[in-house]
Structure 1
Amino acid sequence: MQTDLVKLLEEFPTISLKEMNSVRLMNRIDTKYLTDIETLKRIISSSYGEYMVQEVNGCILSDYVTCYFDTEDYDMYLQHQRGMNNRTKVRVRRYINSDIMFLEVKRRNNKGRTDKCRIQISDSLRMNSEQISFLKDNISYNPYSLIPRLENRFKRITMVNMNKSERLTIDVSITFHNISTQAKLDTGNLVVIELKRNGNTESPIKSILKELMVHPSGFSKYCIGASLTDPLLKQNRFKMKQHYIEKITTN
């Protein structure tokens, strides 16, 4: 699967990580889509000429590891489960290929915009004074109340359109490890595509996705991963998504 994707992507012009920094879009509108590997191959083939693909240390399929934190009573998870528009996620993300790690806070507001702030760190297991201060400035929770809840791993393709007004991330080989229950899950053929734009500008990928009948679909790696690996969590809001993912993973 990965070999086929890399062969398709090798036909695209590349952009370096340094060049990509100008397209960070830390305050943006995110639109997510779910599909499978075979459909992804068609999407990539149809995107040639419209996008560049990010290359990091010679790799265009990059490895990520993320650890999500939550409170004792899973308040961040429950924000999403209750359908609250204003919600927060706290995570440590490690970019394996570039050997960089960040403590990140993602906030979504009731206008559909996502704001992300982060600081670079060197140790994901210990919170130093700088990290505690960062969290105090950016979340309403007591930083000392946060517990590591879920780890997930995936491989990411990052693309940018030719005029650098949007980014497209494509996540494959997604796995979850619930730190509380120790349950693990491999999502197999699942593909998560995320379109990130500053606003409602024209997007080459939107027409391609529409033609292939891939429609917008909300998806939170933390909430879906937690709900699939901990049956004791409230999860009625995620049932339809779970069934769709199970259908993809069993094909």
Structure 2
Amino acid sequence: MIALNAFAPVTLESLVAQAALLTRVDRKYLLPLDTVADVVSHADPRVRVLDIDGSRDFAYDSVYFDTPDFLAYRLTALRRRRRFKLHTRTYLDTGGSYLELKTKSGRGTTVKERMPYAPIDRARITPSGGAYAADLLAQRGHEPSLVAEMRPSLVSRYRRSTLLLPDGSRATIDTDLRWSDPDGRALSLPGYAIVESKSPGRPNDLDRALWRTGHRPSGISKFGTGTAALHPELPVSKWARTLRGPFSESILTTDPQEQR
């Protein structure tokens, strides 16, 4: 159990105003839940937690889009300096939905751009969404016509808590990790959490606390690692250690209902 009630709340409006961080450096860690609970219990008491109507963790649903030959996945798996991910993100508890494009610059900075999206359209690229994504891809040096080839390739579901750190940076803790693909294959990773720090550049207090206890960023990607675990025929070198480690404990099923 990760105890967050000891920290003061922060509203969504205040969080966005203080730490929108759409251009940022992300550092991701895949950790056992008890490790995360211990680190959080020793965090700076000035940390605040996103609180909406008394809730401090929220259900997320992300539908990722890729080409038939998994180009977006391969760009990430093969460590291409310029790569992209296109997905919808739906906030199941609050009802909001967005189409998001994440790109990596040549310097490793993550840039996230998004537009409001109808939740009913979460599993498809609408004409307006396609035009938006194609324009952004062109601006980032990618072929805009790729959007016409993209279709749903992976669904990622999880519960997220968001921390506002005293230095103005953010961190998220994702639990109840689940993935599925259009063929009904489903994967869950009980007992683990993905912790992600999001800062303008330098490591934040959470990074340093994790490093002091011997934990370093794993480079895990919900899109990349989930796709690799469900499609062993694809190249996986970037996540080979993670797939041999925590993901070897994952639960793989075939459930046609999971994709819905």
Q: One fold, TM greater than 0.5?
A: yes
Pairwise CA distance, 1:195: 0.7
- Pair 1:236 & 2:240 matched: no
Percent identity of paired positions between Structure 1 and Structure 2: 23
CA deviations on 1:174-214 (whole Å, 9 max, x unpaired) are 101012x321111111211111111226x221231122221
**1:184-195 equivalent positions in 2, closer than 5 A:** 184-195=186-197
One-letter code aligned to 1:19: S
Task: Give the counterpart of 2:13 among 10, 18, 40.
Answer: 18
Partners in 1 of 2:194 and 2:160 — Cα distance? 9
Gaps of 5+ in 1: none
Give the 3-state SS of the residue equivalent to 1:170 in structure 2.
strand
Pairwise CA distance, 1:11: 0.9
Pairwise CA distance, 1:249: 4.6
CA deviations on 1:19-63 (whole Å, 9 max, x unpaired) are 111111000111111211010110110114141000123210111
| 2:255 corresponds to | none
Contact 2:7–2:46 (CA<8 Å) still a contact in 1? no
Contact 1:50–1:204 (CA<8 Å) still a contact in 2? no
One-letter code aligned to 1:183: R
Pairwise CA distance, 1:85: 1.4
Gaps of 5+ in 2: 138-142, 252-260
Pairwise CA distance, 1:234: 2.4
Pairwise CA distance, 1:247: 5.1
Partners in 1 of 2:224 and 2:249 — Cα distance? 18
| 1:214 corresponds to | 215
The count of corresponding residues between Structure 1 and Structure 2 is: 242
Find runs of 4+ consecutive structure 1 residues off by over 3 angstroms: 125-129, 247-250
| 1:97 corresponds to | 93
Partners in 2 of 1:141 and 1:232 — Cα distance? 27
Are the structure 2 counterparts of residues 127 and 77 from structure 1 closer, same or farther at C-alpha, using a change threshold of 3 Å? Answer: closer
Task: Give the counterpart of 1:134 among 132, 135, 138.
Answer: 132
Pairwise CA distance, 1:103: 0.2
Partners in 2 of 1:112 and 1:125 — Cα distance? 29
Contact 1:56–1:97 (CA<8 Å) still a contact in 2? no
Partners in 1 of 2:125 and 2:74 — Cα distance? 24
- Pair 1:66 & 2:70 matched: no
- Please report the RMSD computed on the Cα atoms of aligned residues, expressed in angstroms: 1.7
Are the structure 2 counterparts of residues 77 and 31 from structure 1 closer, same or farther at C-alpha, using a change threshold of 3 Å? Answer: same
CA deviations on 1:145-198 (whole Å, 9 max, x unpaired) are 11100001001110011242x00011111101012x321111111211111111
| 1:153 corresponds to | 157
| 2:172 corresponds to | 169
Contact 1:63–1:97 (CA<8 Å) still a contact in 2? yes
